[in-house]
Amino acid sequence: MVFLSLNHKLFIWYLLKNNIVWTVKGESSGMSLLEVGLLSGYTVDEVPLNENKLIKRMETAKKKFTLYIDEVGNKPICIKLRLVKAEIIGKLKPGFISIIDYYNPENSATASYKSTLGEGAPVCALCPQGACGDCV
């Protein structure tokens, strides 16, 4: 399950709340990957994740952020990712979140997420008045 909350006024950050559970009763996944296809112009604030004991490693690629999670069991775990605006981008396309069993990648699930405020907005609606010099 994926929940999205956001700062409505400034469009500066989004908070992705990822509730993950392994559905095979009495078993756990072992090592899993949580892959996040990032919204254009956004990065992940890694600082809050450093204290999460379930996270063993983090990787950032061009538009993808990956967490290595020690184990996903039958009790839901919640991992919150704070996406921070690094660039002003309008008309945002949806991103994705996937949970993948590291040793059995056929055991996976993917969900998409989007910015309902940013997806149809022109760039000038998202930047502070006069910040780039192109908006009137």
The CATH number covering residue 119 comes to 2.60.40.690
User: Residue 131: inside a domain, yes or no?
Assistant: no
| CB neighbour list of residue 34: distance below 8 Å, 6 or more residues apart | 18, 20, 66, 67, 69, 79, 97, 98, 99
Q: What's the pLDDT tens digit per position in 40-58? A: 888 888 888 888 888 899 9
Check if the beta carbon of residue 99 is closer than 8 Å to that of residue 81.
Answer: no
User: Residue 100: inside a domain, yes or no?
Assistant: yes
Secondary structure class of 86 (helix, strand, coil): coil
Sign of the Cα pseudo-torsion (21, 65, 16, 46, in order)? positive
Q: Domains in the chain: how many in total? A: 1
Given this model, what pLDDT does residue 132 score?
64
Given this model, what pLDDT does residue 133 score?
64
User: Residue 54: inside a domain, yes or no?
Assistant: yes
Q: What's the pLDDT tens digit per position in 5-15? A: 443 334 455 66
Domain holding 39, by residue range, is 2-125
Going by C-alpha positions, the residue among 84, 63, 92 that lies closest to residue 10 is 84
pTM of the model: 0.75
Given this model, what pLDDT does residue 51 score?
86
* Segments of the chain with pLDDT less than 70: 1-18, 24-26, 116-136
User: Residue 19: inside a domain, yes or no?
Assistant: yes
Given this model, what pLDDT does residue 11 score?
45
User: Residue 136: inside a domain, yes or no?
Assistant: no
User: Residue 82: inside a domain, yes or no?
Assistant: yes
